[in-house]
């Protein structure tokens, strides 16, 4: 899978969303998250991010990025009024922006440009 790192927080350029052939890049409140169960690893999103927030998990090697596991955590979120986690909803166009972030992302300092 590919992951979106901290550089996306409070910026949310969204150029990546248009590129994804399976529409698996979901918008949270402060950041976007790639669904690791839906991403087909095509890599189309990676070069279009203006702040290079997107990387392949294969490039991480020893350099562990907490956003790797945090993406999966986001999709385990149970939204208010729901009983099931977000899971793999089959496309970000269907869900629209999701009013949630992970604890990790919420804890990051304000990066509003
Ligand atoms: Fe974020 Fe870059 Fe996409 S800033 S929304 S990962 S284009
Ligand atoms: Fe989409 Fe990027 Fe994966 S374009 S399929 S999220 S590598």
Tens of pLDDT along 65-104?
899 899 999 999 999 999 999 999 999 999 999 999 999 9
pLDDT tens, position by position, 33-56: 999 999 999 999 999 999 999 999
Structure tokens at 60: 């991480």
Closest C-alpha to 39, from 95, 92, 84, 99: 92
Q: Where are the domains of the chain?
A: 2-101
Could you tell me if the CB of 27 is within 6 A of ligand 1? no
pLDDT of residue 22: 98
Atom of ligand 2 nearest to the CA of 38: 5
**Nearest ligand to the C-alpha of residue 28?**
1
**Best mutation site among 1, 5, 10, 15 for ligand 1, i.e. most ligand atoms within 8 A of its Cβ?**
15
Instruction: Give pLDDT, residue 1.
Output: 93
Find out if CATH 3.30.70.20 is the number for domain 2-101.
yes
CA distance 4 to 93: 18
Are 20 and 74 in contact by the 8 Å Cβ rule? The answer is no
Q: What is the mean pLDDT of residues 59-66?
A: 76
Q: How far is the CA of 4 from the centre of ligand 1 (A)?
A: 7
């Amino acid at each position: 899978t590919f992951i979106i790192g901290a550089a996306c927080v409070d910026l949310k350029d969204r150029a990546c969303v248009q590129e994804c052939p399976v529409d698996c890049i979901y918008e949270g409140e402060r950041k976007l998250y790639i669904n690791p169960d839906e991403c087909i690893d095509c890599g189309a999103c990676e070069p279009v991010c203006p702040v290079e927030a997107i990387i392949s998990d294969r490039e991480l090697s020893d350099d562990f990025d907490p956003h790797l596991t945090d993406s999966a955590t986001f999709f385990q979120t149970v939204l208010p009024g729901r009983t099931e986690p977000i899971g793999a909803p089959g496309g970000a166009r269907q869900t629209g922006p999701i009013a949630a972030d992970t604890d990790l992302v919420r804890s990051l300092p304000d990066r509003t440009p």
